[in-house]
Amino acid sequence: MTLTAVIFTLFALLGLWGALVVLFAKRPVYNALGLLLNFVSLAAIYIMLNAPFLGVIQIIVYSGAIVVFFLFVIMILNLRDPLSDMDLSFKGLVAFVLMISLLSLLGVYLYVIKLPAWKLGPEGSPGKLGELLLRDYLIPFELASILLLVAIVIAVVLGKKGEEQ
């Protein structure tokens, strides 16, 4: 096993652990921290995949901003009580088994087959990424700003109290 494989396995397992904590931990704070663990290990994997900029952005935006926002919400709402036990009904169990088998099928397929060798995009340095975003994908880049504007207006509209109530 090469060093890369060892590091990858380490972070993959850490990320998986984080995801499981998000799903199964009983206290909301632990859920949020599990999410943090997941995001950070994903960032490490991005960096290993030769996309350092994406990795840094992942840490700044997801771990830095979003998880902190979740923690604030948990703090302000004072969610201290543990969540009630998940009741696994028969339907839920069937869905769970189906999902696991679908995922493992996908995993086995992807492991067995040889991935097609297309020449993929340039490496993920900030310069190359900026060039892509501001030249090749200028329209989607501008659309993202419209999407953010729409989202801000929606937040204001729905957050405002209706006068009639």
Partner 1 sequence: MIQYFLPEITILAGILVVLILEIVLGRKGFLATLVSLLFLLVAGFFALRDLSLISPDYYKGLGAFINEHQNLVYIIKSLRLGVVERFMDTIMIVGTIYFVLLSYDYFRSRASGDYQFLTLSALLGGMLLIKSNNWPTLLLSLEILSFSLYALVAFRKDLFSYEAAGKYFFLGALSTAFLTMGIAFLYLAYGTIDFGTTFQRIYTLAQAGFPREVIILSSIALAFIIVGFGFKLSAVPFHFWTPDVFEGAPTPTAGFVSTVSKTAAIGLVFAIFQGLLVNYPALWKGLILWLSVITMLVGNIAALRENSVKKLLAFSTIANAGYVLAVVYAGGLEAVKAAIVFMLVYTITTFGAFAVLQITSEGNTHIENLRGLFQRKPDLAFALAALMVSLAGIPPFAGFFAKFFLAFSMVQMNHPLLAIWLFFNGAISAYYYLRVVYYAFQRDDSEKELPSSRIPYAVAVVSAVLVLLMGLFPDAYTSFVDKVFGAFFGL
Buried b (16+ CB within 10 A) or exposed e, 113-146: eeeeeeeeeeebeeeebeeeeeeeeeeeeeeeee
Q: Determine whether 41 is exposed, middle or buried from the number of CB atoms within 10 Å of its CB (0-12, 13-18, 19+).
A: buried
Q: Shortest Cβ distance from residue 95 to partner 1 (Å)?
A: 14
Spatial distance between the Cα atoms of 90 and 140, rounded to a whole number of angstroms: 44
Spatial distance between the Cα atoms of 9 and 90, rounded to a whole number of angstroms: 34
Measured in degrees and rounded to the nearest 5, phi and psi for residue 61 equal -80, -55
| By the rule CB under 8 A, 156 interacts with partner 1 | yes
Nearer to partner 1, 84 or 162 (CB): 162
Per CB under 8 A, contacts with partner 1 among 86-115 are 106, 109, 113-115
Q: Shortest Cβ distance from residue 99 to partner 1 (Å)?
A: 13
Q: Shortest Cβ distance from residue 80 to partner 1 (Å)?
A: 25
Binding flags for partner 1, 34-73, as an x/- string (CB under 8 A): ----------------------------------------
Nearer to partner 1, 10 or 134 (CB): 134
| By the rule CB under 8 A, 143 interacts with partner 1 | yes
9: CB partners within 8 A, 6+ apart: none
Nearer to partner 1, 61 or 75 (CB): 61
Spatial distance between the Cα atoms of 70 and 29, rounded to a whole number of angstroms: 9
Nearer to partner 1, 82 or 121 (CB): 121
Binding site residues, partner 1, CB under 8 A: 106, 109, 113-116, 118-120, 135-140, 143-144, 146-147, 150-151, 153-154, 156-158, 162-165
